[in-house]
Amino acid sequence: MSNSKRQITSQGASPAFEQVKPGSNAGTADLLIAGQPSQSPMFDAALMEEICQRSNLLPALKRVMQNQGAPGVDGMTVEELPNYLKAHWLDIKERLLHGVYRPQPVRKVAIPKLNGMGVRQLCIPTVLDRLIQQATLQVLQAKWDRSFSEHSYGFRPRRSAHQAVAQAQSYLKAGYEWVVDLDLEKFFDRVNHDRLLSVLAQRISDARVLQLIRAYLKAGVLENGLVSPRHEGAAQGGPLSPFLSNVVLDELDKELERRGHQFVRYGDDCNIYVCSQRAGERVMASISRFITHRLKLKINQSKSAVARPHERKFLGFSFTASGGLHRRKVANEAIRRFKQRVRQLTRRTRSVNWQERIAELSQYLRGWKAYFEFAETIRQFKDLDSWIRRRLRCALWKQWKTYRRRKRELIALGVPPLLAHTTAWSNKGPWRICHTPGVQLALSNDYFNRQGLPKLND
């Protein structure tokens, strides 16, 4: 599968980039991976160009340049970027080939967390470094991914959170009805550089690649004008980071496999399924030891636990408690976040018209549904649907305000005049009015379907 991609790469090389490297055609295997030498044209111009042309990268570049400019490649527009690379690629490539390329410092940004109070630190590399990292990722991942554990699902091609949840569910159904939920504390910030590099060195023979990754790990951090060095942690935000986290935690996978555990891992979220609480506590104790001593990582005691699956959430899902059926359901936290978001989207204070509000809500619902449809509890979706619709009726009712307007709108929506009158005349609160026949007739489910509002449950 990586073969076909590679062929496309070399065929798709544009004339401009071919000219840049006239003498080095034979040396496409610039960087070698142990075991499969000369098959990997890693940092040749064609690959680089392919990356530049990848359209999913361009919006990111655009944003970076519009917002803060790009450190290291300043004053450049998106259109100029390919030209910049064309002009400087020879030079950059030269440095890459000699293992002396040094990345620019990463820009540090703090973003507020969605649910909690805390902030998350991101380290954003320059445009050029992002491209190089992405190239590195693509090549390394193609070689490495096959050897990762079957139980690891995060950040890997053709693997999804859904598959991970399904795997967990199959353990439950097989009778492993206790879960050891492990949460690693500030995982990205604590990765030990030497450890990571030595693991990489077992598979990568080319010192230049190791040198490059090392340079990315050690890249300085630009914080209010000052550059400070870094000694641990992978820059969270760089394209390479998710992959590196898998490399580190692959050791954990292999150990769990060696011990014959039933487990699922997605990023730093690891669940082990066992048959009893006692077994769970035993596993928790010994794996904690392994993680702290061998991997030199910390586990977050407050977020880790041995419990029954319905008490825990995994990737936004949980499981039903009753009767050992273990159906997938939407976790309470996810429901809470959903309602919060819908409330915000339907709030009247935002000055957009009704159509627009429906459209905005629709796209949120569609996306949410695409992920959570995987749950097997129809009730949850029905409840949410009616909750949403009631909320919308309520919002519209409030928007109409006066008796005159309310009656007129109701009639326009096909309510008989007498009913429209009594409904509009009533002075009950909006939340109660929306349960009366008058409003339900006017703003029926059918009405919302016609407006293009998707149903979570269908």
Using CB distances below 5 to 8 A depending on partner kind, what does residue 64 bind out of RNA, DNA, none? Answer: RNA
Residue-by-residue DSSP string for 186-218? THHHH-BHHHHHHHHHTT---HHHHHHHHHHHH
Q: How far apart are CA 194 and CA 424, in angstroms?
A: 72
Q: Which is nearer to DNA, 26 or 114 (CB)?
A: 114
Q: Which is nearer to RNA, 215 or 279 (CB)?
A: 215
Answer yes or no whether residue 455 interacts with RNA by CB under 7 A: no
Binding mask 155-174 for RNA (x = CB under 7 A): xxxxxxxx------------
User: How far apart are CB 245 and DNA at their closest, in Å?
Assistant: 9
Answer yes or no whether residue 241 interacts with RNA by CB under 7 A: yes
Using CB distances below 5 to 8 A depending on partner kind, what does residue 2 bind out of RNA, DNA, none? Answer: none
User: How far apart are CB 270 and DNA at their closest, in Å?
Assistant: 9
Answer yes or no whether residue 71 interacts with RNA by CB under 7 A: no
Q: Which of 3, 11, 67, 349 binds RNA (CB under 7 A)?
A: 67
Using CB distances below 5 to 8 A depending on partner kind, what does residue 100 bind out of DNA, RNA, none? Answer: none
Q: Which of 142, 125, 123 is nearest to 133 (CA)?
A: 125
Site for RNA in 1-30 (CB under 7 A): none
Q: Which is nearer to RNA, 100 or 370 (CB)?
A: 370
Q: How far apart are CA 22 and CA 145, in angstroms?
A: 33
Q: How far apart are CA 385 and CA 214, in angstroms?
A: 51
User: How far apart are CB 161 and RNA at their closest, in Å?
Assistant: 7
User: How far apart are CB 135 and RNA at their closest, in Å?
Assistant: 10
What does the binding site for DNA look like in residue numbers (CB under 7 A)? 53-56, 58-59, 154-155, 161, 242, 266-269, 313-316, 334, 337-338, 341, 363-364, 366-368, 370-372
Distances (CA, A) of 266 to 167, 229, 306, 420, 449: 11, 30, 18, 54, 37
Site for RNA in 92-111 (CB under 7 A): 109-111
Q: How far apart are CA 75 and CA 72, in angstroms?
A: 9
CA-CA-CA-CA torsion sign (349, 352, 356, 360): negative
Q: Which is nearer to DNA, 113 or 231 (CB)?
A: 113
Binding mask 362-381 for RNA (x = CB under 7 A): ----xx--xx----------
Longest Cα–Cα distance in the chain: 88
Site for RNA in 179-238 (CB under 7 A): 236-238
Q: Which is nearer to DNA, 246 or 440 (CB)?
A: 246
Answer yes or no whether residue 337 interacts with RNA by CB under 7 A: no
Contact 131/52 with Cβ under 8 angstroms? yes
Using CB distances below 5 to 8 A depending on partner kind, what does residue 319 bind out of DNA, RNA, none? Answer: none
Using CB distances below 5 to 8 A depending on partner kind, what does residue 156 bind out of RNA, DNA, none? Answer: RNA
- Phi and psi based region of residue 296 (left: phi greater than 0; alpha: psi -120 to 50; beta: remaining): left
**Element containing residue 178 per DSSP (H, E):** strand 178-183
Q: Which of 24, 134, 170, 380 binds RNA (CB under 7 A)?
A: 134
Answer yes or no whether residue 452 interacts with RNA by CB under 7 A: no
Site for RNA in 275-334 (CB under 7 A): none
Phi, psi of 431 (to 5 degrees): -65, -30
Q: Which is nearer to RNA, 234 or 295 (CB)?
A: 234
Q: Which of 296, 318, 299 is nearest to 308 (CA)?
A: 318
Using CB distances below 5 to 8 A depending on partner kind, what does residue 105 bind out of DNA, RNA, none? Answer: none
Q: Which is nearer to RNA, 225 or 323 (CB)?
A: 225
Q: Which is nearer to RNA, 158 or 293 (CB)?
A: 158
Q: Which of 312, 139, 153 is nearest to 245 (CA)?
A: 153
CA-CA-CA-CA torsion sign (15, 21, 22, 26): negative
Q: Which residue has the tokens 């042309």?
A: 53
Answer yes or no whether residue 350 interacts with RNA by CB under 7 A: no
Tell me the site size for RNA, rule CB under 7 A: 33
Q: How far apart are CA 124 and CA 438, in angstroms?
A: 55
Q: What angle do CA 289, 294, 300 make, to 5 degrees?
A: 50
Contact 264/249 with Cβ under 8 angstroms? no
Q: Can you name the residues that pair with 324 across neighbouring β-strands?
A: none
- DSSP assignment letter at 377: -
Using CB distances below 5 to 8 A depending on partner kind, what does residue 280 bind out of DNA, RNA, none? Answer: none
- Interaction site with RNA (CB under 7 A): 56-57, 60, 63-64, 67, 109-112, 122, 124, 130, 134, 137, 155-162, 236-239, 241-242, 366-367, 370-371
